[in-house]
Structure 1
Amino acid sequence: MDRLIRVSTKEDIFPEYRETPIGKLVEYHNLRSSHDSYSKAQVLIGMCMDYRKNLRIPENFAYILRSGGGNLRYSEFKVSYCVALGGVKAIALLGHNNCGMVNLYSKKERFIKGLVENAGWNEKAAEEHFMNFAPMYELGNEIDFVISEAVRLKARYPKILVAPLFFNIEDNELYLIKK
């Protein structure tokens, strides 16, 4: 957590993000800046499907893709759509603390039991499902993952500003990440 930078004023925003959709996102969410009016999305936000996170942003400001851990590896066509047809010039990737995709293998038995009890799966099918997909979604560390995903997307979309950010579910604030 020592790599996280709290944003309490506009001056706390990294210079490379100021006056960009990334800076506006942080201003809207953390600083409660008044909402501008948008007719089209300015940014793509990739964030976790976790129900504990909700952003304070204006209508029409962002495309939002939610997936386990904010992992966009398997949503790349959607990312390309937002860039190619939506015209976004920035991508904000939001990792967060206490993510369920961290240390996923420790949840294997609960996952299998949950599919058996809640969805009516048989145990063998539930275990195969977990073993087939868990390697794709295991994050390791939230901060390291969001940084590596930002690097990957920046290489794939070199003209797009890509920013790794961190959502702290305890104070509901966005933090910048020192790389």
Structure 2
Amino acid sequence: MAQIVPINTKEDIFPQYLGTPIGDLIEYHNFHKTFDTKYDHAKLLVGMCMDNRKRLHIPENFAYVIRTGAGNLRTSEFKVSYAVAVGGVRAIALIGHNNCGMANLKAKEERFVKGLVDVGWDPKAAQDHFDHFAPMFEIGNELDFVMTEAQRLRSRYPKVLVAPLMYQLEDNRLYLLRRDNTLPKAVAAM
């Protein structure tokens, strides 16, 4: 289980992120830190949802940004590798958000299929499309997905700092995530 940690002051940023592009991202977005540094290349890769309700407050050239459903980078692995290998980034901010459309896709199946039929799809083709891709893009719980995806990226890129974050739509702020250590070890390890 993941726990959301508010970031109201610079002191709330976890120590491992201070003085890194992750800390800078949080300061730019949550505290509107002045864009006093000119970046000639990206310092960070941001993976975040394609949802139109979110927008980051960051300077030009500061970050590569990959926007996919739920910020799911599994299908963008080559792009992540490019940003790391060629772009030279050594930090990844994986940003989930509350009320994500990729959570509980099964509940949206009928609307999804009908929406495709309404724009000209054959009903069977629309259903097959949903059946084929929904399992690939279903994330379950937003918090747990971001934590799991961050762990996957850490194992894939062991020398890259990976930070799981949440964007709360109600206040347009970033929050840190951590494992809930108050749970029994067997549950917290899940």
Deviation by residue 1:22-66 (Cα, 9 ceiling, x = unmatched): 000000000110112100000000000000000000000000000
- Letter of the structure 2 residue corresponding to residue 8 of structure 1: N
Runs of 4+ in 1 over 4 A off after TM superposition: none
Structure 2 alignment gaps of length 5 or more: 180-190
Q: CA deviation at 1:148?
A: 0.2
- Give the structure 1 partner of residue 183 of structure 2: none
- Give the structure 1 partner of residue 16 of structure 2: 16
- Letter of the structure 1 residue corresponding to residue 45 of structure 2: L
Aligned to 1:24, the other structure's residue is in SS state helix
Q: CA deviation at 1:2?
A: 7.7
- Give the structure 1 partner of residue 6 of structure 2: 6
- Give the structure 1 partner of residue 182 of structure 2: none
Aligned to 1:170, the other structure's residue is in SS state coil
- Letter of the structure 1 residue corresponding to residue 87 of structure 2: G
Aligned to 2:64, the other structure's residue is in SS state strand
Q: CA deviation at 1:178?
A: 1.7
Deviation by residue 1:96-142 (Cα, 9 ceiling, x = unmatched): 00000000010000000000102x10100000000000000001000
- Give the structure 2 partner of residue 106 of structure 1: 107
Structure 1 alignment gaps of length 5 or more: none
- Give the structure 2 partner of residue 162 of structure 1: 162
The correspondence of residues 116-131 of structure 1 with structure 2, limited to 5 A, is 116-118=117-119, 120-131=120-131
Distance of aligned partners of 1:47 and 1:3 in 2 relative to their CA distance in 1, 3 Å threshold: same
- Give the structure 2 partner of residue 141 of structure 1: 141
TM score, norm. by length of structure 1? 0.98
- Letter of the structure 2 residue corresponding to residue 43 of structure 1: L
Aligned to 1:166, the other structure's residue is in SS state strand
Q: How many residues align?
A: 178
**Take 2:2 and 2:47, find their aligned partners in 1: how far apart are those partners?**
23
Aligned to 2:15, the other structure's residue is in SS state coil
**Take 1:45 and 1:141, find their aligned partners in 2: how far apart are those partners?**
20
Aligned to 2:17, the other structure's residue is in SS state coil
CA RMSD in angstroms, aligned pairs only: 1.1
- Letter of the structure 2 residue corresponding to residue 31 of structure 1: F
**Take 2:59 and 2:2, find their aligned partners in 1: how far apart are those partners?**
30
**Take 1:124 and 1:106, find their aligned partners in 2: how far apart are those partners?**
18
TM score, norm. by length of structure 2? 0.92
- Letter of the structure 2 residue corresponding to residue 72 of structure 1: L
Q: CA deviation at 1:5?
A: 1.1
Q: State percent identity of aligned pairs.
A: 63
- Give the structure 2 partner of residue 39 of structure 1: 40
- Letter of the structure 1 residue corresponding to residue 77 of structure 2: E
